[in-house]
Amino acid sequence: MSSANELKTKGNEAFSAGNHDEAIKLFTQAIELDPANHVLYSNRSASYSSLKRYDEALKDAEKTIEIKPDWAKGYSRKGAALFGLGKLAEAHETYEKGLEHEPNNALLKKGVSDVEAAMDQEPGNMGGVEARLAEAFKGDIFAKIAANPKLAPYLADPEYIRKINDIKDSNGDMSKHYDDQRIIMTLFSLMGMGDMFTQPPPEASQARSDMPETKPAASPPKAEKKTPEKMEVEEKEEEVDKETAEKRAAAADSKAKGNEAYKARRFDDALEHYTKAIESDPTDITFWNNKAAVYFEMGQYDECIETCLGAVDVGRENRAEYKHIAKALGRIGTAYHKKDNLDKAIEYYNRSLTEYRSADILTKLRTLEKLRKQRAEEAYRDENKANEARERGNELFKAAKYPEAQKEYTEAIKRNPDDPRNYSNRAACLTKLMAVPDAIKDCETCISLDPTFVKAYIRKANALFLMREYAEALDALEEAKAQDAEKKNSSEIDQLEYKCYNAISEQNARLKPEEALQRAQANPKIASILANPIMQNILQQMQSDPRAAREHLKNPAVASNLRKLMAAGIVRMG
């Protein structure tokens, strides 16, 4: 039978392949095995949304939030379902609620933006096309046009400038200029719809974080998120002449040539072209980022870092999009990683994520944090100091100073995590402090390091006894017997075994057979044993011939099951 994790993995694969019905089926099976796993409901919600089954997607999203109310993705799922149902106000509220838990979550921010855009388009809402048109012609309109190489050449025509001024003065009314194709193209470009006129070039699809930015300067810039202004100010329009427009067009051409050279791995040529692009237009951050990418590929990491720092300065001065600044900071982090400076790399990855949350940078950050921790642990290892810490722990344990002893044993583990004695000793200390589950974990770690460590089995049995898990304690004692070839610990094992059987006997004396059966049916482990045909046959034999139990007890698996049934009160000692 597959586990919940295995079913989740298969469900994720089905989802990625677009087989959403199969994904829903697999996630449902996983939920039946692990109904408290919030990720499973979230994944099934995404599958339902993909099939436009938004009511069901909403139920799963709400269940996700119920289980883990501080998880941002649950709110993202709920917002998407509400959006699909057309409940825009509720969707907006849900996305905002998610941002309270994770303010920098890009998916939630996009959800807010999408909902607001949809609300703008609703009938009677002045946030629609008319408002967008008026907004497009606000501010320094000529600077926006000059920044677009497709539009910049038009600024050389006084008639075009006159028409733009006329539209600007009439708050975006362009009804008198629909016959001018240049005005139409300007309108769509400023509204972020320039793709209606031109298709993005093939290089725009590049996705590698260390590749140059290949989006052409001709593409319209994305609209910046609007922020309320405290007061109206009159902005001075940028004087853009034909020479400036030509320089920007030349910069775009140099960038395109640089991209071609980069793809062909002609890095010297690429470097030359990107440098020319910067000379023509030093205000565009993408030219700097692309030049840094070339230095990175050439292994010139110091030059890459220096260029990226320049890119950040240029980006901030010219209000570039956050993701471009984040890209420069992220590349600095990667360059420092190549120089094996993990602290600096992690610093710049974190700085990149504060600008724009990229999955690629987040993965790199987590990898490096794990590597740095691993290196720190390795540098801390010292077998001699570990032995000294363990000896100090032993002295403190004898003096019944258990918290202090635990601290020393923990230090010994940090200094030498491969020594099973450190875990066994700490387990004994944790048991005294009644931190029983943690004691069992330490015993299991000790056993994994040395399966012949008899004391670990005994200490595990003792901890299980304290938890009243008598059958499991007896199993641990059986393992201890198997490893105690020289019988050095037989007395301690026998005493604890007697305590377990005595406790079982006292427990069963207080429990009526029908109550025991009722409890057993409610316990999945015991119910599974009782449903096993082999165990049913053995129990029948034992009923008719009690001596048959001796033969069956020679089988370790059967003996373990019988001990569990005995502890549950199903099988009683005579």
Per-residue three-class SS string for 361-393: HHHHHHHHHHHHHHHHHHHHCCHHHHHHHHHHH
Per-residue model confidence as pLDDT tens for the chain (574 residues)? 468 888 888 888 888 777 889 999 999 999 999 999 999 999 999 999 988 899 999 999 999 999 999 988 999 999 999 998 988 889 999 999 999 888 888 788 888 888 887 776 654 444 444 555 666 666 677 777 877 777 778 777 778 888 888 777 776 666 666 667 777 777 777 666 554 444 333 232 333 344 455 444 333 334 333 332 222 323 333 444 567 778 888 888 899 999 999 999 999 999 999 999 999 888 899 999 999 999 999 999 999 999 999 999 988 888 888 899 999 999 999 999 999 999 999 999 999 998 888 889 999 999 999 999 999 988 999 999 999 999 999 999 999 999 999 999 999 999 999 999 999 999 999 999 999 999 999 999 999 999 999 999 999 999 999 998 888 888 899 899 889 988 899 999 999 988 888 888 887 777 777 776 777 667 777 778 777 888 778 777 777 776 666 676 677 787 777 777 777 776 665 5
pLDDT at residue 553 in the model: 67
The domain locations on the chain are: 4-120, 246-378, 383-509, 513-567
Over residues 195-216, the pLDDT tens digits come to: 444 433 323 233 334 445 544 4
Residue 274 near residue 290 (C-beta atoms within 8 A): yes
Q: Check the CA dihedral 226-231-232-235 and report its sign.
A: negative
Over residues 387-433, the pLDDT tens digits come to: 999 999 999 999 999 999 999 999 999 999 999 999 999 999 999 99
Rounded distance between C-alpha atoms, residue 493 and residue 483, angstroms:
12
Q: Which residue has the tokens 């602290």?
A: 343
pLDDT at residue 521 in the model: 67
CATH of domain 383-509: 1.25.40.10
The DSSP secondary-structure symbol of 177 reads G
In sequence order, the 6+-apart residues with CB closer than 8 A to the CB of 45 are 56, 57, 58, 60, 61, 64, 77, 78, 81
Backbone angles phi, psi at 327, to 5 degrees: -65, -40
pLDDT at residue 407 in the model: 96
CA 251 to chain centre: 39
Q: Identify the CATH class of 4-120.
A: mainly alpha
pLDDT at residue 398 in the model: 95
pLDDT at residue 342 in the model: 94
Q: Which of 237, 317, 251, 243 is nearest to 290 (CA)?
A: 251
Count Cα atoms within 13 angstroms, Cβ side, for 162.
Answer: 6
Rounded distance between C-alpha atoms, residue 203 and residue 200, angstroms:
8
DSSP assignment of 435-478 = -HHHHHHHHHHHHHH-TT-HHHHHHHHHHHHHTT-HHHHHHHHH
Given CATH 1.25.40.10, say whether it is the number of domain 246-378. Answer: yes
Q: Which architecture, in CATH terms, is 513-567?
A: Orthogonal Bundle (1.10)
383-509 has the same fold as 246-378: yes
Q: Check the CA dihedral 52-55-58-60 and report its sign.
A: negative
Over residues 260-280, the pLDDT tens digits come to: 999 999 999 999 999 999 998
In sequence order, the 6+-apart residues with CB closer than 8 A to the CB of 280 are 247, 248, 250, 251, 254
pTM for the model stands at 0.43
